Amino acid sequence: MDSANAPLRRPADARSSVGPLRAAFDMLWPLAIGIGLAALLHKIVPMFSDTYTSRIVTDMGIAMILAVSLNIVNGMTGQFSIGHAGFMALGGYTAGFITYYGSLWMWGSYEKHGGLFGPGAWLFVASCIVGGLVAAGAGYVVGLPSLRLRGDYLAIVTLGFGEIMRVILQRTGKLIESAEQVRAANLADFFPPPVNGSLGFNNLPKYTNLFWAYTFLAITVIAAYRLKQSSLGRAMISIREDEIASQAMGVNVARVKVLAFVLAAFFAAMAGGLLAHESGFMLMPKDAGFQKSFDYLIMVVLGGRGSITGVMLAAALLTALPEALRGFADYRLIIYALLLIVMMLFRPQGLFGIHEIWDLWPFRRKAAGGEVKA
């Protein structure tokens, strides 16, 4: 076993003195491929389908980001969180706030500014990242109770977070709608942030497209995969398996749990940023509530805890399925629910269980775990 693996390692050791360019390449090539695929998708999908289908494919990408990020907390670390939509909404509102008021202030209009790589798009990307950072801070706070609570009790705390987000966002607020007003406003006018309360945050510039959705998905998946195949990921999984044994083996359980929440919140918020800029009429306070959270929880359970490819497939399926069932009109949601029940009866461990899709390939020798892949 060891002799078979040794050659895999040796070249990496021998190359350890190569230049920084090579080092950067080793770190970033999966991302480059991911961006390439996103660009390809961006070109190809509209060729073969209408805007409606493109929109659904974009939604699938965003749902996959949310499912993969929730999988870090629920699937890998085993902390039952049902407040994931809260992080998503926080990220969405933060990103929307930045692009909406940023656009008004800089360009005098909340309309989209520039093309695929125009200045507006970069403002949008930056806003998603800022939203991610804000939500990561919230993730830290929500992660703290997880140090003392387990199972159902933690679930209730995370549920509470989502509901608190929803209620805060619902407070009837105003929206500043012209550039003059924005320029004339002082700092106090932006606190609490004017995001239009229960009417929803509308008129956001529509920057989200297939390219950006799948680029962010690539970032999320690469991060999740690298995490899973690392000492940190093993520490997370060990907490899921047996917390007491985990700390007895030297895992700083508190730190790892909070880290899982922070990371999951960060990626979920980026997805929230994408959703906010998708149609421009999407961002509602109810998006932070537990019903949305459950949508993503179902994806993780259906995909298999800890299986990145599994939850991606589940996210894609569950996003596409309600659309595919549109022909059944009123019975659509009943069929959807029935399919979920049947799935759980026949595959209670999820689509792939704890495995990845390539583990199920019959002709492949079982992985020794943690081969240096991406």
Partner 1 sequence: MTPEPLTTPKAPLGAAANPTRLAVEKLCLSFGGLKAVQDFSLQLPKLCLYGLIGPNGAGKTTVFNLLTGVYQPDNGQMQIDANQLRGLQPHQITAAGIARTFQNIRLFSDLSVLDNVRLAGQLHCKNGLPTTLLRTRRFRAREAAIRERAYELLDIFEMQPLATARAGGLSYGHQRRLEIIRALATDPKVLLLDEPAAGMNPKEKLDLAKSIRAIRDRFGIAILMIDHDMGLVMDICEQITVLDHGVTIAHGPPTHIQNDAKVIAAYLGGGPVA
Q: Which of 79, 99, 246, 293 binds partner 1 (CB under 8 A)?
A: 246
Nearer Cβ to partner 1 (26/111): 26
DSSP sequence for 258-327: HHHHHHHHHHHHHHHHHHHTTSSS-B-GGGGSHHHHHHHHHHHHHH-TT-HHHHHHHHHHHHHHHHHGGG
Q: Which of 180, 252, 333, 347 binds partner 1 (CB under 8 A)?
A: 252
Whether the bond between 30 and the residue before it is cis, its omega within 30 degrees of 0, is no
Tell me how many residues contact partner 1 (CB under 8 A): 44
Using rule CB under 8 A, residue 174 touches partner 1: no
- Residue 18: CB minimum distance to partner 1, A: 9
Tell me how far apart the alpha carbons of residues 309 and 70 are, in angstroms, rounded to a whole number. 13
- For 177, other C-beta atoms within 10 Å of its C-beta total 15
Nearer Cβ to partner 1 (109/252): 252
Using rule CB under 8 A, residue 245 touches partner 1: yes
Phi-psi label, residue 45: left if phi above 0, alpha if psi -120 to 50, beta otherwise? alpha
- Residue 243: CB minimum distance to partner 1, A: 10
Q: What is the 8-class DSSP label of residue 353?
A: T
Tell me how far apart the alpha carbons of residues 358 and 278 are, in angstroms, rounded to a whole number. 32
Nearer Cβ to partner 1 (237/311): 237
Interacting stretch for partner 1, rule CB under 8 A, among 9-17, 62-70, 85-93, 111-119? 9-17
Q: Which of 167, 241, 281, 333 binds partner 1 (CB under 8 A)?
A: 241
Please report where in the chains the tokens 């081969």 appear, as a residue. 371
Q: Are the C-beta atoms of 144 and 258 separated by less than 8 Å?
A: yes
Using rule CB under 8 A, residue 237 touches partner 1: yes
Site residues for partner 1, 257-316, by CB under 8 A, read: 259, 263
Tell me how far apart the alpha carbons of residues 158 and 171 are, in angstroms, rounded to a whole number. 21
Nearer Cβ to partner 1 (285/303): 303
Q: Which residues contact 113 (CB under 8 A, 6 or more apart)?
A: 103, 106, 107, 119, 120, 123, 205
Using rule CB under 8 A, residue 364 touches partner 1: no
Using rule CB under 8 A, residue 338 touches partner 1: no
Interacting stretch for partner 1, rule CB under 8 A, among 92-100, 228-236, 317-325, 330-338? 228-236
Using rule CB under 8 A, residue 247 touches partner 1: yes
Using rule CB under 8 A, residue 16 touches partner 1: yes
> Alpha-carbon Rg of the chain, whole angstroms?
22
Residue type, 234: R
Site residues for partner 1, 26-65, by CB under 8 A, read: 26-27
Q: Which of 35, 45, 185, 226 binds partner 1 (CB under 8 A)?
A: 226
Tell me how far apart the alpha carbons of residues 283 and 279 are, in angstroms, rounded to a whole number. 9
Using rule CB under 8 A, residue 238 touches partner 1: yes
Residue type, 1: M
Interacting stretch for partner 1, rule CB under 8 A, among 136-144, 246-254, 295-303, 333-341? 246-254
Tell me how far apart the alpha carbons of residues 360 and 174 are, in angstroms, rounded to a whole number. 53
Helix/strand/coil for 207 = coil
- Residue 310: CB minimum distance to partner 1, A: 14
Per CB under 8 A, residues contacting partner 1 are 1-2, 5, 9, 12-13, 16, 23, 26-27, 223, 226-227, 230-235, 237-238, 241-242, 244-254, 259, 263, 354, 366-370, 372, 374
